[in-house]
Amino acid sequence: MLGVDQAVSALLEQARPLVQAEAVPLTGALGRILAEDIVAAIDVPPADNSAMDGYAFQHDDWPGEAAALPLSLRIPAGIDPEPLPAGTAARIFTGAHIPPGADTVVMQEHCTASARDVVIGRCPDRGANIRPRGQDITAGDRVMRAGRRFDAQGLGLLASLGLAEVPAYRRLRVAVISNGSELIEPGEIAAAGQIYNSNRYMLAGLLGDWGFEVQDMGIAPDEPAAIGELLQSAASAADVIVSSGGVSVGEEDHIKNVVADLGAIDLWKVAIKPGKPFAFGRVSETPFIGLPGNPSSVLVTALIMARPYLFACQGRDDGRVIPVKKVAKFALAGSPRQTYLRAKSTPDGVECHPRQSSGVLMSAVWGDGLVVQAPGQDIEKGEEIDFLPYAFLA
Amino acid sequence: MLGVDQAVSALLEQARPLVQAEAVPLTGALGRILAEDIVAAIDVPPADNSAMDGYAFQHDDWPGEAAALPLSLRIPAGIDPEPLPAGTAARIFTGAHIPPGADTVVMQEHCTASARDVVIGRCPDRGANIRPRGQDITAGDRVMRAGRRFDAQGLGLLASLGLAEVPAYRRLRVAVISNGSELIEPGEIAAAGQIYNSNRYMLAGLLGDWGFEVQDMGIAPDEPAAIGELLQSAASAADVIVSSGGVSVGEEDHIKNVVADLGAIDLWKVAIKPGKPFAFGRVSETPFIGLPGNPSSVLVTALIMARPYLFACQGRDDGRVIPVKKVAKFALAGSPRQTYLRAKSTPDGVECHPRQSSGVLMSAVWGDGLVVQAPGQDIEKGEEIDFLPYAFLA
């Protein structure tokens, strides 16, 4: 059996970006992935400017705490100031450029001003309250690396460089197929023997949160020729195919034979719990990921194994995540497989849902992440353990 | 000065859901907020079913490890099985309903089967390999509370209950106004004195990640009558107005006077760093939040103060987050204000960006969260400190 880390590494070795770059307006870039490194073309801020509302002056001109400096200029933010005449001060506002001839700003709270002059009661150090040109960014700095997701601060940073358009990868298209002749869709009436398809909605949700375009192929019919047609249309519509169910060794599991006929498929034995059956292959040249059928197994294998692979196909650099340390509020003997326990964090530790059956989604809705239990690791109450918040896997 | 927790509590006291519920198809519910508790109408699974591919039989009928049971039924998933004749076994597949008369499933790997009969070499315990009806959910269970964001597992859970439509709050509409006559938009040519508007893009990104509808009002002109018109149109277009800049005490900061004329405004002194000036009020009856103007101050006050308030206005229950504990890889003396340090987590701790100036967005792009430094708290290297991953604030 492959260890989980081995399996993820093996998947990543076969992954490469499957999408081209395109120019995207900054206003539409949230959640997209930067396709090229960004090098700053300008300094930010573009000039020395005032960190507060106050008075700009030349430090050498300070006449002492009781004498006044005449006011010669008024500089609101947004204008290009004239030089400051020697022996005078300028009224200045937050963000306004420092005039040539001034080297210090005093905050207005330390001054007594009239319309004509200002008494600087307490003289700050030379250079005080000035944000220097290039403090944030210097032209030529590499400010962002390809592979980064555009988040709010990234958008703000690129806006501050004046970029109205950015190079982003096209969104990865992922086809979703649900296998199982017992499945019907929500809203239909379930006959005896039938159950509602939940994996389709869960997978669409995960893929949507990951910023992909979801091609929903519906439920695969229980008939090889029809499955083959569905797979071929998924292969031409999408960059990657993800299916749930139908990949164990049972004689009712047709999909693996059909994928083998149309391309190639490997059944992987991964030491992961929940989630034993995992298939990886291709339909024509389109990568195919076959997840288990039980909802919790789908959730765990999607988060732990499919996610890093799909992120790499999208050109994202953040597929691998670092767990946080939490104190266990439970004890649990280890298993031979690496176990992902549906768990909930509290201010003083982490609790584990009492029912960890792979068919049960309630535990994943109840909690906010997964405890990672290494093969053979017995968890003692009070011990520090690894916890993966779902928020880190979004 | 108000402490940060006090300020957030004061904001939350004034918050209430500002949006109505509407029916949303499950396929469009990702990121929306559940508006009513969900009570299960059915059991999940709806009947006892097989946990694996194998043979279903009556435990009392086991003839011993060498004798055969005749095969009387074949039960793939999805059908309503006939009763099992006494003294026989049924071929059964994962997810298929257990036929009346059977009480145990044996995995196929422990059997030797022909077309007519099966030898069960190792008899499991009575009831083995059967997932009982209602194991996941029992009809009448309250499975999800109003206020929860629809994530992937939540969608999967409601799909398993057969729900094709769910009650969700309408998306909160938030108007964004940028103040500062020095601002120009990315893509334009900056004259001396002008800087690019970055807060607009950062705020739009945050609000977008939070699932709100953003009404971008652009840059407020530096003229009270025009600001008034802009605010009034924001108030009628949106549920909440968020503005950046223009709320400090400087005489160039018009927005607070205009808001006061059109409704009410309070300038709050909050002991938060970065981010001192914070205003809260209303334009007519629309709540108004005035954030500072420096990008890092906007980021921190938006994440720490505006976010819980806006979540409550949207009907969300997850506005308050629990920091994680991390080992400090730096030392830093405390400040009188609660300080949010832009920081980066590593497998063995958390580093702090060397430049924490409030004008600097690079530090927020470099890292993955905020160290929370309480007022007066001196941080020692190697000490456990509070860290708020940005992922928790998304």
CA distance A182 to chain B (A): 3
DSSP letter for each residue of B69-99: EEEEEEE-TTS-PPPPPTT-EEEE-TTPBPP
C-alpha dist (Å) from residue B67 to A255, B88, B118, B122, B129: 34, 12, 8, 11, 22
CA distances from B135 to A367, A368, A387, B130, B155 (A): 18, 21, 26, 10, 19
Q: Which one of 3.40.980.10, 1.10.3470.10, 3.90.850.10, 3.40.50.970 gives the CATH number of domain B4-18+171-313?
A: 3.40.980.10
Q: Do B46 and A190 touch (CB under 8 A)?
A: yes
Given a contact cutoff of 8 angstroms between Cβ atoms, the answer to whether A170 and A51 are in contact is no
Rounded to an integer, what is the distance from CA B108 to the centroid of its chain? 42
Model confidence pLDDT, tens digit, residues A130-172: 999 998 899 999 999 999 999 999 999 999 999 999 999 999 9
- Best mutation target, B39, B107, B195, B223, to test chain A (most A CBs within 10 A): B195
Question: Which of A40-54, B22-36, B190-204, B251-265 shows the lowest per-residue confidence on average (mean pLDDT)?
Answer: B251-265
- Give the Cβ contact number of residue B276 at 10 Å: 18
Q: Which residue of B lies nearest to A183 if distances are taken between CA atoms?
A: B78
Query: Is B164–A185 a contact, with Cβ atoms under 8 angstroms apart?
Result: yes
| First CA to last CA distance, chain A | 28
Residue in chain B lying closest to A362 (CA): B136
Q: What ranges in A169-283 are assigned the alpha helix state H?
A: 199-209, 224-237, 255-262
Close Cβ partners of B46 (under 8 Å, ≥ 6 residues apart): A190, A192, A195, B133
All residues at 6 or more sequence positions from B225 whose CB lies less than 8 Å from its CB, including other chains:
none
pLDDT tier, B247 (very low <50, low <70, confident <90, very high otherwise): confident
Say yes or no: A180 contacts chain B, CB-CB below 8 A: yes
What is the average pLDDT across A291-306? 94
Q: What is the mean pLDDT of residues B277-306?
A: 95
Residue B51 has pLDDT above 80, yes or no: yes
List the CATH code of the domain at A324-393: 2.40.340.10
Sign of CA dihedral A304, A307, A313, A318: negative
Count CB-CB contacts under 10 A for residue B82.
13
Look at residue A359 and tell me whether its pLDDT is greater than 80.
no
pLDDT of residue A358: 66
Residues of A (98-137) whose Cβ lies below 8 Å from B:
108, 131, 135-137
CB contact (8 A) between residue B209 and residue A391? no
Which CATH superfamily hosts domain B21-41+147-169? Answer: Molybdopterin biosynthesis moea protein, domain 2 (3.90.105.10)
Higher pLDDT, A276 or B267: B267
CATH architecture of A4-17+171-314: 3-Layer(aba) Sandwich (3.40)
pLDDT of residue A248: 66
What are the boundaries of each domain within chain B?
4-18+171-313, 21-41+147-169, 49-131, 324-393
Collapsing DSSP to helix, strand or coil, B326 comes out as strand
Token readout for A200 is 């389709």
Q: Is the peptide bond before A308 cis (omega within 30 degrees of 0)?
A: no
Q: Which residues pair with A387 in a beta bridge?
A: A324, A371
The pTM score is 0.94
* ipTM for the whole complex: 0.93
CATH superfamily label, A49-131: Molybdopterin biosynthesis moea protein, domain 3. (2.170.190.11)
Task: Please report the pLDDT score of residue A40 as a whole number.
Answer: 96
The string of DSSP letters for B264-310 reads: EEEEEEB-EES--EEEEEEETTEEEEEE-SSHHHHHHHIIIIIHHHH
Among partner residues A151, A162, A248, which is closest to B190 by beta-carbon distance?
A162
| Residue B27 with chain A: CB contacts under 8 Å | 201, 204, 216
Task: Name the helix (H) or strand (E) containing B43.
Answer: none
**Are the C-beta atoms of residues B73 and B53 closer than 8 Å to each other?**
no
Q: What is the 3-state secondary structure (H, E, C) of A291-355?
A: ECCCHHHHHHHHHHHHHHHHHHHHCCCCCCCCCEEEEECCCECCCCCEEEEEEEEECCEEEECCC
Task: Judge whether A225 is closer than 8 Å to chain B, CB to CB.
Answer: no
Residue A224 main-chain phi, psi, to 5 deg: -55, -45
- Report whether A388 contacts A321 (CB < 8 A): yes
Pairing of strands A183-184, A195-196: parallel
- Tell me the one-letter amino acid at A365: V
Mention the CATH class of domain A21-44+135-169.
alpha beta
| Any B CB within 8 A of A165 CB | yes
pLDDT higher than 80, residue A78: yes
User: If DSSP codes are grouped into helix, strand and coil, which group holds residue B22?
Assistant: strand
| The pLDDT of residue A47 | 93
